[in-house]
Amino acid sequence: MTLRLSTASIYATGTSQINTLQSQIAKTQMQLSTNKRVLTAADDPIASARALEVTQSQSMNTQFGTNRSAARASLSLVDKTLQDVSAQMTDIQSLIVTAGNGGYTQSDREALATELEGRLKDMLGLANTADGTGGYLFSGYKSTTQPFTQTTTGATYQGDQGQRSLQVGSTRKMPISESGSAIFETIKTGNGKFQALQGDANTGSGIVSPGSVVDSSKLTGDNYAINFTKTGTPAVTTYTVVDTSKNPTVNVLEDQPYTAGASITFDGMSLDIKGEPADGDTFSVKPSENQSVFTTITDLIQTLRMPADGSTGKAELANRLAEAGSNMKNALDNVLTVQASVGAREKELDYLDSTGDDLNIQYQSTLEDLTGLDMVKAISLFSQQQTTLQAAQVSFKTMSGLSLFNYIS
């Protein structure tokens, strides 16, 4: 049987083969130029699907890195502002110590009060620091609301207790702001557990210490009064500690001899009173309360401007200065605690950045394994395809040139 091929068939077959070879070499050339083995999903469906997942994870990791940069900028501003706040509080503590100088006159204390007014405005300015994006650092979720407005008794907080957050990792959402209420408002008075205050009607020279907790298991959270009595000739001073929260009231300690500076201990608390309390003088002991630092400074300014005449006036000044000193110490401790928390978050961002960089390298390596090109193998294949195409072109030319008319003279 004789197989006959038409000229049209020879041309069609040859052209088809050459087109196929040209397509293959064009694909290899594209792989070489992009350094990728998988150009379309059809090249390797499984690797392509997996590469898409890895690419999405890599994009999310990149976004987390951008979020961390924004978080670091915000936390750095918070940290710097809190440093300035703590410096102001330290200066105010120094002014309180200075105000207690026994040689100071009323005009000297008036000068300190004027200086404190400036410090108060500076503190309010720091509390109302802008975040650089049209909002405020310490207003919580109410970012466009000015946090504090000065009043006659201190300042009013107009923000909320929220903390703005950013997603800085696949499983980590980090607060990037602080509530002004937590920094400036919720400051414990006294020693942080209880506060000891002199009575408004005292006429003696008794000065009470902030006191301390000696046994926290015995704390009751009740209010107490330490009442002084002078009887006999010569006069003997005694005191009675009364639990005024009970109904009827209960004497915790009764008719105890008073010794200046000696410890008065009851219900897990201990304090001392110096000086000479007068008959009928009283001191109160009650649980610590939350008080704004701006109220503390405002009260301190008023204290410095009140007369401090005689032993009674000097004792009242000393008691009020001690109270202000304790409150400012608590305020500074609170700011330092918040600042430590901010610093810890900044350090955590460094660790997350390092982890993010490692993840990016891992994702890139995985993508290279899935879609990357073996350059040596691809160049070898490209050379082979070139040789095959050239051979096909030569053979097609030869085949298409065969004709009986070439041999007829």
Secondary structure (DSSP) of 241-285: EEETTSSS-EEEEEEEEP-TT-EEEETTEEEEEES-PPTT-EEEE
Q: CB-hemisphere CA count at 13 Å for 69?
A: 5
What lies within 8 Å, CB to CB, of 276 at 6+ separation is 204, 205, 206, 237, 260, 311
Low-confidence ranges of the chain (pLDDT < 50): none
What lies within 8 Å, CB to CB, of 100 at 6+ separation is 317, 318, 321
Instruction: Judge whether 109 and 308 are in contact, CB under 8 Å.
Output: yes
Taking each helix axis as running N to C, give the angle between helix 45-99 and helix 310-371, from 0 to 180 degrees, rounded to the nearest 10: 170
Taking each helix axis as running N to C, give the angle between helix 45-99 and helix 293-305, from 0 to 180 degrees, rounded to the nearest 10: 10
**What pLDDT score does 370 carry?**
67
Q: What is the pLDDT of residues 305-325, one digit of tens each?
A: 998 888 999 999 999 999 999
- Measured distance CA(159)–CA(182) in Å, rounded: 11
Homologous superfamily in CATH for domain 55-189+328-359: f41 fragment of flagellin, N-terminal domain (1.20.1330.10)
Cα 217 from chain centroid (whole Å): 33
**What pLDDT score does 236 carry?**
93
**What pLDDT score does 118 carry?**
95
- Measured distance CA(148)–CA(156) in Å, rounded: 5
For residue 234, cis peptide bond before it (omega within 30 degrees of 0): yes
**What pLDDT score does 395 carry?**
72
Q: Indicate the burial class of 208 (C-beta count within 10 angstroms; 0-12, 13-18, 19 or more).
A: buried
**What pLDDT score does 87 carry?**
96
Instruction: Judge whether 86 and 334 are in contact, CB under 8 Å.
Output: no
**What pLDDT score does 65 carry?**
92
Instruction: Judge whether 125 and 149 are in contact, CB under 8 Å.
Output: no
Name the nearest CA neighbour of 284 among 360, 346, 357, 201.
201
DSSP 159: S
